[in-house]
Amino acid sequence: EAETDRLWSQVKPLYDGLHCYARGKLQSEYGKELVPDGKPVPAHLFGNMWAQQWNNIYDLLEPYSGVSNLDVTAELKKQGYDAKRMTESAELFYVSLGFPELPDSFWERSMLTRPRDREVDCYASAWNIDGKGDVRIKQCIQTTEEDLYTVYHELGHIYYNLSYVDQPYLFQGGAHDGFHEAIGDTINLSMTEGYLASVGLLPKGMKSSREALINRQMKVASEKIAFLPFGKLVDQWRWGVFSGAIPPEKYNEAWWELRRKYQGVEAQIARSEADFDPGAKYHVPGNTPYTRYFLSFVLQFQFHRALCEAAGFTGPLHECSIYGNEEAGRRFREMLAQGVSQPWQDALEKLTGTRQM
């Protein structure tokens, strides 16, 4: 708890700035009545069920409207990308770093599209079935940029699983939970204009200019900075439930208190204890820890910087892609192969030179 508080206090100013900016933009769209000055923002305006990432309202947040096209979706559609090809595109990135091709069993046993004959939970996830190489993902992949990023994310788990397959069973795991979540996201940070161009996915009308760059960084902020308070508060709520500090008759009230306090968002209609809003977040009924995402959203930038240095990249970090870089690949693979056999501080130090997140 102390560690997440320490990290939150460092990144909070970034969030506060972004939140203020977003409220201003939402206010011009919907008016002062609905989005008043200095008050929490109605959560449903952010284009995401949990207001956890704001990329779906990028068109509202865009600082320089129309100067560049950042949307990969149209390109994917035009080129007829389906679920399999999007997964292969992710695989190719990992292969370019020296990781192996995915085993046949992955392709036979994964669920990449929504089945027509039954109800399934479509929320994307990665599964290590036996610790011996039977790895699978479950995702209902649609031809969108968001799903493209997510499949790269899921393969991060799969390649971690495959990398530590020779470790004793107890050492098969992420150095800490945040590492596991950060692998694929680190790759996501390398999906730059340069990378997209080299795989033929550069959106038509993408420009390079100072304004285009600010736009792109706003888009990254809408995913990465917007997420931080939500990443923190889910387990803050859950730890409160487990310790008894949040009693059953306050489950929903405490949830919205945290949402207000950290995210600065509010329910637009009255909630009561007859509602159980935390239950609408996959990871809560699914019993997936959540602090891992908060930690990952800090760590992935440390990984990205270290790997770019390993690749000998000297330009601005937002232009760096480690795609196809042998040395970055070697360093990354080395860390993944260790699993949880070393303290995470050692793993972090070996890759980044620091023991602190």
Radius of gyration of the chain (CA): 21
Partner touching 125 among ligand ASP, Zn ion, none, CB below 5 to 8 Å by kind? ligand ASP
Residues 6+ apart with CB under 8 A from 113: 83, 140, 141
Structure tokens at 188: 């996501």
Cβ closest to ligand ASP, residue 153 vs residue 232: 153
Given 154, 181, 193, 223, which residue is catalytic?
A: 154
Cβ closest to Zn ion, residue 149 vs residue 195: 149
Min dist CB 348 to ligand ASP, Å, is 21
CB 316 within 8 A of CB 304: no
DSSP 8-state class, residue 265:
E
Given 44, 88, 211, 283, which residue is catalytic?
A: 283
Which residue of 150, 172, 321, 352 would you call a contact of ligand ASP, by CB under 6 A?
A: 150
Residues 6+ apart with CB under 8 A from 30: 45
Cα separation of 17 and 173, whole Å? 36
Cβ closest to ligand ASP, residue 263 vs residue 325: 263
Q: Could you tell me the CA-to-CA distances from 56 to 53, 207, 221, 319 in Å, in that order?
A: 8, 21, 12, 23
Q: Is 154 a catalytic residue?
A: yes
Cβ closest to Zn ion, residue 181 vs residue 235: 181
Structure tokens at 139: 């995702």
Own/partner contacts of 267-274, CB < 8 Å, gap of 24 or more, are 267/42, 267/43, 268/42, 268/43, 268/44, 273/249
Min dist CB 292 to ligand ASP, Å, is 8
Min dist CB 126 to ligand ASP, Å, is 7
Total of chain residues touching ligand ASP, rule CB under 6 A: 4
Cα separation of 84 and 88, whole Å? 6
Cβ closest to ligand ASP, residue 125 vs residue 142: 125
- Identify the helix (H) or strand (E) that includes residue 233: helix 228-243
Phi and psi of 73, rounded to 5°? -55, -50
Site for ligand ASP, residues 259 to 278, rule: CB under 6 A: none
Min dist CB 50 to Zn ion, Å, is 16
Contact flags string 88-127 toward ligand ASP, x per CB under 6 A: ------------------------------------xx--
Min dist CB 124 to ligand ASP, Å, is 4
Contact flags string 149-188 toward Zn ion, x per CB under 5 A: --------------------------------x-------
* Catalytic machinery residues: 154, 283
Residues that bind Zn ion (CB under 5 A): 181
